[in-house]
């Protein structure tokens, strides 16, 4: 994440003082400096968030601007350089939610409207955060007093963000508006009754409120508060009587996000147009309901999918779908995974627009690269077009992509190192000094390159460009020969068939990257000996419980890698996939988001984005794979329904409707007649669909059909039980934190409470 306005040469002194004077800190930092908390870390004077990287994005569908809300209700506009906290004053004390255990969070009606609930004597105070367009874009803060008594609300502008400290030199308060270094940071719907400044010299505004000194610092006239140490902060206080609600707006428009100290005057926030949270949540449902549906028997999985379908749309920032809208670092390979999830769940318009946006970024030499030296990106660009085509048959998009496709194919062909010897022969070159693993060949680059070349061949052929398709197919065939020769050479080095992530690396945690050879790149089948051997090694050496543990890079339990292993297991009918999906559900925040990496002791985010777009996309994809999974075969395509059935789903009717697949649009239902499942299906095939057949290995191993519609009563299913005759439900233990979750049927239940 790009961290705005941070001047590291000036920060250590002030920030060390901040920590030493008992300031109210963001939730993650309160825990990292608490010696009794599992997230406690020893570090330098300016701490970084390594134990609480969990947040939830808010914004609007028709806008690229985003803000994030942490687990205690702290609101952070993207790249702003400040955050907005909230404190509640009772008769005898002030409460900072970041310090309280009695805080719960949830989504309102499954929409990206984040409710943070603070329990106090006499009831609850509810903080809601969501995006709305009130002239310009804004993050809206709605506070409801649901107690039996009046309270005071303080909205506080703070010199830190979701990753660490920032710098605020000057704060101005003029009526309902609060500015930070000349930029609008907050606008209230009514003027505050009290303005409480803080600074390096004055201390924290919270301390002034708590100690009673705030009454002497109140000033209703326009005021400016400065701090030479960069720790200016302010709390604006309004009364909140019983059952009343107050709103405030935090700007998210482009003029506010520049690095300049003074920006041009932005459009005025029209706070009299702020919609209530309930209206925004209803609007999200109206815009996102419909399309493909899977009525899962499992309550938690259904809730996770429902929320994740909306969360993923907030990673679409306008002709670009990114893993972290709060950052500037974007990978086309990661975007391709998210675009695939959007298309599988019916968001074809967004998928097509983002693919066109990637084409606009193509370099003159044909490369489509997000991060420096991400050699996988150009192949992933082609793969994204190919997956979109297989699911939608969107001929208009493909015709518009002819030139970018041909240029990308040429780039891949030119960059293969044909004069190398041994395992490197014919592969893409090592990554340079800008890459995360410089100087190293990575098979992932070549998997995506081959996936892209194969897709480009099919796309060109579908447009009747047979000569171009023939030439591209030749390039793909040459790369396939060289790649398979390299894989066979390297797999034999360790005395087995397991694949490494690189021809220059031994088998280590990164070998899970090699599973991409089967999915999504489909270079080898999931039941290929090298793929099975790689999965075996991962299970034997690189798991902590059901989850993949990375000790080399981000260090932690990695959600998307865990899902990648679950996908490999689902494809071959391995029931251990259920434990992994259960762990992913248990590892979700109460708002159904996942960080890039999870701390194994606290269960909170330890690295990367706090709402990781690929993790969200992978959850949606594995959920869809539980219903139907496409598997290429030598003679066409197998649509594999219900590859593995969680134990708790036996005897429960469920169904799926309008699912885009590579063969066409699929609907099916599972109905139970005692111990015998009945399968009803209907497929509306693409006009040029490959030869296909349906199977349902989790319900009937012998069932197969190529009929477009029908119904079949399958053989009786023997329910898995333990020695006492009870259905097997293997609970997954994980560190707990506050939060909540709904019940499950079939997947392991989370422990009491949930992860935050």
- For the chain of 756 residues, list the mean pLDDT of each consecutive stretch of 10: 40 50 87 87 77 94 93 93 95 93 95 97 95 93 96 96 91 95 94 92 91 65 88 95 95 52 63 96 92 94 97 93 90 96 96 96 94 89 98 97 98 94 92 66 96 98 96 97 94 81 91 96 95 96 94 86 96 95 96 95 91 97 97 93 92 96 97 94 94 94 95 85 54 38 47 35
Question: pTM of the entire structure?
Answer: 0.91
**Structure token digits, residue 625:** 């794979």
For residue 145, give every residue at least 6 positions away whose Cβ sits within 8 Å of its Cβ, in sequence order, or none: 125, 151, 153, 240, 241, 242, 243, 244, 245
Cα angle, residue 664 at apex, residues 460 and 307 outer, rounded to 5°: 105
Alpha-carbon span 143 to 128, nearest angstrom:
6
Phi-psi region of 694 (alpha: psi -120 to 50; beta: other; left: phi over 0): beta
Q: Are the CB atoms for 756 and 54 separated by under 8 Å?
A: yes
Alpha-carbon span 294 to 306, nearest angstrom:
10
Closest CA to 18 of 155, 204, 162: 204
Alpha-carbon span 112 to 299, nearest angstrom:
19
Cα angle, residue 243 at apex, residues 242 and 246 outer, rounded to 5°: 100
Q: Are the CB atoms for 97 and 86 separated by under 8 Å?
A: yes
Alpha-carbon span 184 to 182, nearest angstrom:
7
Phi-psi region of 685 (alpha: psi -120 to 50; beta: other; left: phi over 0): beta
Tell me: cis bond preceding 520? Omega within 30 of 0 counts: yes
Alpha-carbon span 94 to 114, nearest angstrom:
23
For residue 230, give every residue at least 6 positions away whose Cβ sits within 8 Å of its Cβ, in sequence order, or none: 7, 10, 11, 14, 159, 167, 168, 169, 200
Q: Are the CB atoms for 61 and 313 separated by under 8 Å?
A: yes
Q: Are the CB atoms for 480 and 450 separated by under 8 Å?
A: yes
**Structure token digits, residue 351:** 């998928």
**Structure token digits, residue 641:** 């329904």
Q: Are the CB atoms for 297 and 654 separated by under 8 Å?
A: yes
**Structure token digits, residue 43:** 């570090």
CA dihedral 290, 293, 296, 299 (to 10 degrees): -30
**Structure token digits, residue 443:** 């098979």
CA dihedral 726, 732, 737, 740 (to 10 degrees): -50
Alpha-carbon span 493 to 499, nearest angstrom:
10
For residue 673, give every residue at least 6 positions away whose Cβ sits within 8 Å of its Cβ, in sequence order, or none: 713
3-state per-residue secondary structure call for 710-745 = EEEECCCCCCCECCCCCECCCCCCCCCECCCCCCCC
**Structure token digits, residue 404:** 């970018």
Q: What is the pLDDT of residue 13?
A: 43
Q: What is the pLDDT of residue 34?
A: 86
Closest CA to 82 of 157, 176, 186: 157
**Structure token digits, residue 9:** 């040469």
For residue 490, give every residue at least 6 positions away whose Cβ sits within 8 Å of its Cβ, in sequence order, or none: 423, 499, 500, 503
**Structure token digits, residue 216:** 């002497």
| DSSP SS3 for 701 | strand
Across the beta sheet with 177-180, what order do the strands follow?
Answer: 103-107, 114-120, 123-133, 137-145, 245-251, 183-188, 177-180, 170-174, 223-226
Backbone angles phi, psi at 525, to 5 degrees: -80, 155
Cα 330 from chain centroid (whole Å)? 13
């Amino acid at each position: 994440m790009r961290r705005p306005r941070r001047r590291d040469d000036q920060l250590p002194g002030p920030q060390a003082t901040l920590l030493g004077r008992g300031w109210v800190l963001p939730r993650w930092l309160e825990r990292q400096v608490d010696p009794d908390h599992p997230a406690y870390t020893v570090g330098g004077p300016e701490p970084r968030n390594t134990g609480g990287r969990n947040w939830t994005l808010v914004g609007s569908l028709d806008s690229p601007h985003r803000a994030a809300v942490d687990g205690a209700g702290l609101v952070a506009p993207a790249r702003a350089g400040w955050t907005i906290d909230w404190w509640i004053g009772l008769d005898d004390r002030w409460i900072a939610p970041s310090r309280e255990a009695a805080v719960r969070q949830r989504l309102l009606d499954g929409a990206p409207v984040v409710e943070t609930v603070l329990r106090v004597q006499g009831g609850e105070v509810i903080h809601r955060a969501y995006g709305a367009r009130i002239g310009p874009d804004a993050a809206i803060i709605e506070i409801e007093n649901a107690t039996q008594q009046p309270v005071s609300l303080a909205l506080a502008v703070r010199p830190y963000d979701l990753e660490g400290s920032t710098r605020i030199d000057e704060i101005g308060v003029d009526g309902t508006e609060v500015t930070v270094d000349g930029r609008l940071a907050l606008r209230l719907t009514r003027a505050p009754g009290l303005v409480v400044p803080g600074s390096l010299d004055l201390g924290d505004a919270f301390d002034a409120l708590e100690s009673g000194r705030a009454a002497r610092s109140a000033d209703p006239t326009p005021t400016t508060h400065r701090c030479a140490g960069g720790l200016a902060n302010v709390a604006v206080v309004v009364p909140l009587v019983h059952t009343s609600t107050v709103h405030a707006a935090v700007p998210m428009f482009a003029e506010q996000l520049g690095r300049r100290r003074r920006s041009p005057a932005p459009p005025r926030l029209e706070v009299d147009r702020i919609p209530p949270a309930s209206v925004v949540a209803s609007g999200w449902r109206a815009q996102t309901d419909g399309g493909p549906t899977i009525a899962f028997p499992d309550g938690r999985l259904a809730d996770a999918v429902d929320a994740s379908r909306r969360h993923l749309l907030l990673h679409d920032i306008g002709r670009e779908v990114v893993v972290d809208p709060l950052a500037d670092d974007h990978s086309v390979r990661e975007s391709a995974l998210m675009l695939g999830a959007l298309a599988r769940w019916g968001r074809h318009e967004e998928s097509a627009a983002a693919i066109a946006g990637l084409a606009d970024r193509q370099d003159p030499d044909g490369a489509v690269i997000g991060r420096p030296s991400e050699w996988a990106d150009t192949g992933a660009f082609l793969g994204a077009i190919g997956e979109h085509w297989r699911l939608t048959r969107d001929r208009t998009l493909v015709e518009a992509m002819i030139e970018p496709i041909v240029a990308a194919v040429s780039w891949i062909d030119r960059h293969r190192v044909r004069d190398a010897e041994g395992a490197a022969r014919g592969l893409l070159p090592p990554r340079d000094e800008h890459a995360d693993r410089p100087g190293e060949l990575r098979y992932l680059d070549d998997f995506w390159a081959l996936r892209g070349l194969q897709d480009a061949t099919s796309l060109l052929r579908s447009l009747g460009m047979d000569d171009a398709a023939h030439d591209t197919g030749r390039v793909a065939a040459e790369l396939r020969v060289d790649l398979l020769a390299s894989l066979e050479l390297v797999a034999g080095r360790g005395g087995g068939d397991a694949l490494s992530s690189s021809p220059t690396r031994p088998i280590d945690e990164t070998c899970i990257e090699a599973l991409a050879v089967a999915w999504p790149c489909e270079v080898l089948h999931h039941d290929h000996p090298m793929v099975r051997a790689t999965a075996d090694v991962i299970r034997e050496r690189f798991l902590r419980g059901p989850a993949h543990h990375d000790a080399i890079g981000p260090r932690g339990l990695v959600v998307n890698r865990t899902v990648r292993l679950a996908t490999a297991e689902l494809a071959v009918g391995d029931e251990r996939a259920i434990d992994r999906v259960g762990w992913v559900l248990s590892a979700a925040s109460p708002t159904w988001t996942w960080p890039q990496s999870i701390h194994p002791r606290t269960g909170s985010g330890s690295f990367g984005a706090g709402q990781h777009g690929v993790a969200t996309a992978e959850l949606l994809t594995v959920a869809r794979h539980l219903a139907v999974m496409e598997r290429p075969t030598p003679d066409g395509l197998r649509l594999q329904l219900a590859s593995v059935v969680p134990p708790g789903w036996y005897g429960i009717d469920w169904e799926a409707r309008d699912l885009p697949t590579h063969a066409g649009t699929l609907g099916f239902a599972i109905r139970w007649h005692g111990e015998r499942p009945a399968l009803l299906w209907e497929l509306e095939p693409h006009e040029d669909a490959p030869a296909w057949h349906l199977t349902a290995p989790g319900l009937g191993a012998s069932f197969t059909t190529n009929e477009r519609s029908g119904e079949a009563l399958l053989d009786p299913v023997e329910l898995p039980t333990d020695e006492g005759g009870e259905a097997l439900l293997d609970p997954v233990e994980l560190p707990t934190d506050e939060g909540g979750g709904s019940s499950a049927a079939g997947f392991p239940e989370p422990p009491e409470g949930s992860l935050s």
